[in-house]
Structure 1
Amino acid sequence: MAFNTSVVTNQTRSTSNTSFCPGLADFSLGYRLVHGYVSLVVCLFGSVANSLNIAVLTRREMTSPTNALLTGLAVADLLVMLEYIPFACHMYMPQGAWRSATDRYSYPWAAFVLFHSNFAQVCHTVSIWLTVTLAVWRYIAVAHPQRNREWCCMKTTIAAIVSAYIVSPLLCIPLFLAFSIHPKNAAVDKYGQIVRTSKDMGDAKNMTLYIVNISELGKANGNLLSHINFWVYSVVIKLMPCAALTELSRRLICALLQTKRRRQQLTSGSARVLDKQRQTDRTTRMLLAVLLLFLLTEFPQGILGLLSVWFGENFFKNCYQKLGEVMDILALINSAINFILYCTMSRQFRSTFSLLFRPSMFDRWLLVPQHNENVDNNGCTTANNMTLVTQV
Structure 2
Amino acid sequence: MNATLPSSIDLIPLDIAPYGVYIPDYFNMDYALPVYGYITPALSIVVTVTNILFVAVFAKSGMKSPTHILLRFMAISDTLTVVIPTPCFIYIYLLRNYEEFLLYELCTVWDLFTNFIPAITHTASIWLTVVLAFQRFLCVCFPLNVKIWFNSTRTYIIIIVTYLLAICSNVSRFLEKDVIPVKLNSMLNPGEVIRGCVYNYNDWMIESGIEYLKVYYWLRAIVVQLVPCIVMAVFNGIVLYKIKVAERRRITLRSGMMNLPGTNVQESRESRVTTLLRKFEFKSSQTRPVTDNDSMETHMMDESARGVLEWEETGVPGENPRDRVGDPWHFHVRAGDQTPAGESERRVA
Structure 2 partner of 1:272: 311
The structure with higher relative contact order (CA 8 Å, sep 6+) is 1
Structure 1 partner of 2:175: 177
Aligned to 1:110: 107
1:75 corresponds to: 76
- CA–CA distance in structure 1, aligned partners of residues 229 and 54 of structure 2: 24
1:152 aligns with one of 144, 150, 153: 150
- Write the letter of the residue equivalent to 1:262: R
* DSSP 3-state at the match of 1:63: coil
The answer as to whether partners of 2:74 and 2:129 remain within 8 angstroms in 1 is yes
Pair 1:215–1:185, CA change in 2 (3 A) = farther
Q: Give the TM-score, by structure 1 length.
A: 0.54
For residues 53-93 of structure 1, give each alpha carbon's deviation from its aligned partner in whole angstroms, at most 9, with x where no partner exists. Answer: 11111212122111111111112122223212202203321
| Offset of residue 375 of structure 1 | 9.4
Does the C-alpha gap of structure 1 residues 176 and 232 become closer, same or farther in structure 2, counting only changes over 3 Å? farther
- What SS is found at the alignment partner of 1:59? coil
| Structure 2 equivalent of residue 32 of structure 1 | 32
Partner of 2:283: none
RMSD: 3.3
Q: Percent identity?
A: 21
The 1-side partners of 2:180 and 2:53 are apart by 40
**Matched letter for residue 210 of structure 1:** C
Distance across 2 between alignment mates of 1:375 and 1:184: 83
Distance 2:318 2:41 in 1: 36
Once residues 83 and 226 of structure 1 are traced to their aligned partners in structure 2, the CA distance between those partners, rounded to angstroms, is 24
How many matched pairs?
244
- Hey, what's the Cα distance between the residues in 2 that align with 1:213 and 1:48? 39
1:240 maps to which of 227, 247, 257? 227
1:179–1:157 CA distance, 2 compared to 1 (3 A): same
Whichever residue aligns with residue 131 of structure 1, its letter is T
| SS of residue in 2 equivalent to 1:181 | strand
Instruction: Write out per-residue CA displacement over residues 111-161 of structure 1, whole angstroms, 9 at most, x where no aligned residue.
Output: 111111111111111101101100100111111112122222223222211
Equivalent positions of 1:339-358 (< 5 A) are none
Question: What is the correspondence of 1:243-254 to structure 2 with a 5 Å cutoff?
Answer: 243-254=230-241
Distance 1:274 1:132 in 2: 35
The 1-side partners of 2:154 and 2:314 are apart by 28
**TM-score, normalised relative to structure 2:** 0.60
| Structure 2: runs of 5+ lacking an equivalent | 1-27, 258-307, 320-330, 337-349
Q: Secondary structure at the match of 1:146?
A: coil
In structure 1, the partner of 2:322 is none
**Which structure has the bigger radius of gyration?**
2
Cα distance in 2 between the residues matched to 1:154 and 1:206 = 57
The question of whether the paired residues in 1 share the 8 Å contact of 2:64 and 2:152 is answered with: no
- 1:106–1:33 distance in 2 versus 1, CA, 3 Å: closer
Cα distance in 2 for partners of 1:375, 1:48 equals 44
Looking at structure 2, the residues matched to 176 and 71 of structure 1 have their Cα atoms a distance apart, in angstroms, of: 28
How many Å separate the matches in 2 of 1:247 and 1:39? 32
C-alpha displacement of 1:214: 5.2
Deviation, 1:173, is 1.4
Alpha-carbon distance change, 151 to 182 in structure 1, aligned in 2, over 3 angstroms: same
> Which residue of structure 1 aligns with residue 59 of structure 2?
58
Question: What is the match of residue 125 of structure 1?
Answer: 123
Matches within 5 A, 1:92-107: 92-97=93-98, 101-102=100-101, 105-107=102-104
In structure 2, the CA distance between the partners of 1:232 and 1:175, relative to structure 1 (3 Å rule), is farther
Asked if 2 retains the 8 angstrom alpha-carbon contact of 1:219 and 1:225, the reply is no
Extract unaligned runs of 5+ from structure 1: 1-27, 193-202, 281-370, 377-392
